[in-house]
Each structure stands twice: as C-alpha cells, then as structure tokens.
Chains A and B, each alone.
Chain A
Amino acid sequence: GAGVSQTPSNKVTEKGKYVELRCDPISGHTALYWYRQSLGQGPEFLIYFQGTGAADDSGLPNDRFFAVRPEGSVSTLKIQRTERGDSAVYLCASSLLAGGQMGQFFGPGTRLTVL
C-alpha cells in the first residue's frame, strides 16, 4: 500500500487479557518503530526494528510487552496480561533508512482500551 497501515483501528479488551496489534510498513522500508501516545501527550518510543531484529527495545515499559518482525516487513506488538494503564493509542512508523534518516512515516494507530 501507499502508507503505513495498522490493524485493528480500535481494540477493547478486559484487564488481564492478551492482545496483538499489527503494523504493515511502507513497502521497501527497512526500519520499523512502535510508539505509544497517551491522551494529551506526544508519542513515546517503545521499540525499533532494523530488518528482522530489534535494534532498540529500551522503550518497552516491562516484560508484558513484546514485538516481533519475523520476515522484516509486518510487525506485531504483543501485550500480555493487559492493565488499565496500557490504554493508549499505539502508533507504528517506518523509514527507508536506519536511524530514521529521510523521515519516519506514521500509520493511523490502534486505539487500545483496557476495561
């Protein structure tokens, strides 16, 4: 597709459940990023992939969060034992070059609500 796509657009789950969020980057983009945006705040970095490997996962808040990108394209962010504090918009971005040079391009986000 022409841009970054994310599914689902909205996800409502109950506390303690497991969720998966999917990101399809722009074709040919080697770098993929996950960010999280809480209400009234700017996006905050979670994890960055260069190809298939996680180049930087320092933003993941705890071990309930995990992400994969097995074939170097689509990525899945996985959250175990969800908590109400995980409610936020999860944004995915991709860039042509490593380190985000030439710019990062964002998808529409997945709004996660944990009840």
Chain B
Amino acid sequence: GIQVEQSPPDLILQEGANSTLRCNFSDSVNNLQWFHQNPWGQLINLFYIPSGTKQNGRLSATTVATERYSLLYISSSQTTDSGVYFCAAGRNTPLVFGKGTRLSVIA
C-alpha cells in the first residue's frame, strides 16, 4: 500500500516566521489532503490537493504528483498555528496518514 512520510517531525518557530512542511508519498494518488490537528484533537481540513497549488490566507500548498511530494507553506506564523500537521494520501482508497509534523510557534 501507499506509504506517506512527513518531515520534519518537529518544528519550533518564532512568531512571524515562515515554514515549509514536506510530505512524500510512495505511489500515485488521486486524493491528498493536509490537516491541522488542534490541541483538542479535531482534524481540521486545510487543503484537498492531489495536484497543483492552492492558497488560503497565510497557508498555501503545492503537490507535484509526478514527483510524489507535497509541500505546505505557512507564512507569518502565529501561536494559534501550533499543533500537529498531517498529510494523508490515497488512490480510490481510504487515506493513509503520515506521522505528522508537530509545530510549536513561540510568541
């Protein structure tokens, strides 16, 4: 089955800094999503992005399907961005999740 790897596993940022989170996947996919899991455990949809580039406010994501990776960009980070960011991918199957990137934004 598909394998999903995320890097880095942990990231500490000063408020206002920018960051890039990476997701590599082992096979072709037609579903790729980025989630933010908040401190209460809720998985919040950030992007549905099996290919291409999308932007939503300070967040943007790019998936290069032919090279089997996706990037999540966070600009001007805020303390409320803290939490775990998950990438999940699949092909006509339920999602396979990476282990996540734990982000801590310090004021």
Residues of A at the B interface (CB closer than 8 Å) are 33, 35, 37, 41-45, 48, 56, 59, 89, 91, 98-106, 108-109, 111
Given A42-B99, A56-B93, A59-B94, 6 more pairs with CB closer than 8 A: A45-B96, A99-B93, A100-B90, A101-B30, A102-B48, A106-B45
Does A42 contact B90, Cβ atoms closer than 8 Å?
no
Q: Which residues of B contact A (CB under 8 A)?
A: 30-31, 33, 35, 40-43, 45, 48, 86, 88, 90-100
Residues of B within 8 A of A89 (CB): 41
- Given A99-B30, A99-B90, decide whether A45 and B45 contact each other with a Cβ distance below 8 A: no
Q: How far is the CA of A109 from the CA of B42 in the complex (A)?
A: 7
Q: B90: which A residues are within 8 A, CB to CB?
A: 99-100
Residues of A within 8 A of B94 (CB): 33, 35, 45, 48, 56, 59, 100
Smallest Cβ-Cβ distance to A3: which chain B residue = B42
Asked if A99 meets B92 with Cβ closer than 8 Å, knowing A108-B41, A108-B42, the reply is yes
Q: Provide the residues of chain A in CB contact with B31, threshold 8 Å.
A: 99-101, 103-104
Known contacts A45-B94, A48-B94; A106/B30 CB under 8 A: no
Q: Are A42 and B42 in contact (CB under 8 A)?
A: no
Some 27 contacts from A to B, beta carbons below 8 A apart, are A33-B94, A33-B95, A42-B98, A43-B43, A43-B97, A45-B96, A48-B94, A56-B93, A99-B31, A99-B90, A99-B91, A99-B93, A100-B94, A101-B31, A102-B48, A103-B31, A103-B48, A104-B33, A104-B95, A106-B35, A106-B42, A106-B43, A106-B45, A108-B41, A108-B42, A109-B41, A109-B42
Given contacts A56-B93, A102-B48, A106-B42, contact A42 B100 (CB under 8 A): yes
Task: Assess whether A41 is in contact with B99, with CB atoms less than 8 Å apart.
Answer: yes
* Bound form: Cα–Cα A48–B93 in Å: 9
A48 CB contacts on chain B under 8 angstroms: 93-94
Alpha-carbon distance A43/B41, docked complex (angstroms):
11
Chain B residues with Cβ below 8 Å from A35 are: 94-95
Q: Which residues of A contact B40 (CB under 8 A)?
A: 108
